Structure 1
C-alpha cells in the first residue's frame, strides 16, 4: 500500500458499487470512501465531477486515474492486491477462463435481463394511475413470453455451477461472486424470480456471501444496501 497509495471509492447508495466495497473489504485494502446519495433515483452532480459519465462505482487511484465498470474495477483490485491468488480459484476447475466466462455472463447477459425487469417496474411505477394497468399488462405478458424463462435459464445454470463448492470460484468468493450479488439481489428483492426455491444452491450461496464478516463491514460502511427501490 505504501507504494500504491490509497484508492478512493465513490459509492452510490443502493447500487452496484456495493459489490466493489465488499471486494475491498475481502481483500483488506486500505481505501478512502466517499458516500453519495441518489437524487430522485439518479446519480448526484458530484459523480460527474470525477467522471463524465457520472457512473458508480468509481475507483480513483492515487495517481488520479479513474476506473469505472464493476467487473473492470474488481479485476484491477484482484490483479493488484490478491498477490497470493486466494480469490482466483484453484487453477483447475476454477481457472482464469472460468473467472472471465462467469464474470461476463453476470455483467453482460444476466445484467441485461435484470435491467429489462427494472425498467418495466420503474415505468409502471412512474406511469399515471390510469396507464398503470396497461403497463402492468405489458409487463405480465413479457414475463410470460420471455423474461421468466430467461431468469430460470440463468439461475439453473448457476445452481449447477455451484455444485460441490461454496462459491463460483471455489472456497472463497471471486470476481463472478462479487458481481453476481447485485444482479441476484435485484432479482430476489424485486420479486423477479418466479420460484426462488428451484435454485437452492444459489439461495445458499447468497446467504453465505452475506454472512461473511467482510460483507457485514461493507454494509456498515455503505450505510446499508437495498435493491428493492425503483431507482436505477
Structure 2
C-alpha cells in the first residue's frame, strides 16, 4: 500500500453503504488517517474501521437541511493538511461521480496540497446489480445513462426529454425531490407509461427496499410504499430482466 504521508489529502469513495464494499486502499486510508472528513451517507460501520486516535469531522450535505457549503469543506481539508495531518475525505459512492471530488481536487491543487484519488463503487451501478438489474446486456443495450436527479440547490436543469429520446436505460441518483417533474418530462420526451422502472432505496443497508413499477405508475407506487431518499431510480427494459434472476438471486444481507 502507498504511504499516507503527513500533509496529504486522500479523496476516497466509501461505496454505496455496506463497508464490505470498501476497496482495500480505502480501508488502508481509514486505518491510517489522522482526520476523516466524511459525508452524511457514509455508513457508521465504515467509520468504525478508523484507528482509535483519528478525528471524525462531519461534512455531510442533506437536501433541505442545514449543511456545510463546499467552500467551507475545501478550507477544512486545506487547513488540516497544512497542520501536517493525514486527511481522508471519505465520500459515499465514488468521489468523481456526483460526489464533488473534482471541486475539492481543484481546491487542493490551487492550495499546493498533494492529494490522491481513491475510486469507490458508485451507488447507481451497485444498487442495480445487487437488485438483479443489469446496467447493460448484449441483447438489450450497449450504453447506459447516469444522471443526477437534482442539483445542490434543489433544482434540475437536465433535458429529460432528450435523455428519453436516447432509447437507453437511465439510472438516476437522488431523484425523489424532483420525481414528479422527472416522470412527466420523460413521458413528454417519448417514454411510454409502460416503460419498466424500479426504485432502489438504501441499497446494501438494513433499510434496503426495491419497488418494481412502470413509469406511469411510479409516483403512486413510490407513495404507497413510502420510498424516500436515498434512492436510485432505474428506467428501461433492463428492469424487467430482474424477474429471471429472482428465483436464485441471493439476498445481499
Highest Rg: 1 or 2? Answer: 2
Considering fraction of residues, name the structure with more helix. 1
Q: Work out whether the TM-score is over 0.5.
A: no
Q: TM-score, normalised by structure 1?
A: 0.32
Q: TM-score, normalised by structure 2?
A: 0.30
Considering fraction of residues, name the structure with more strand. 2
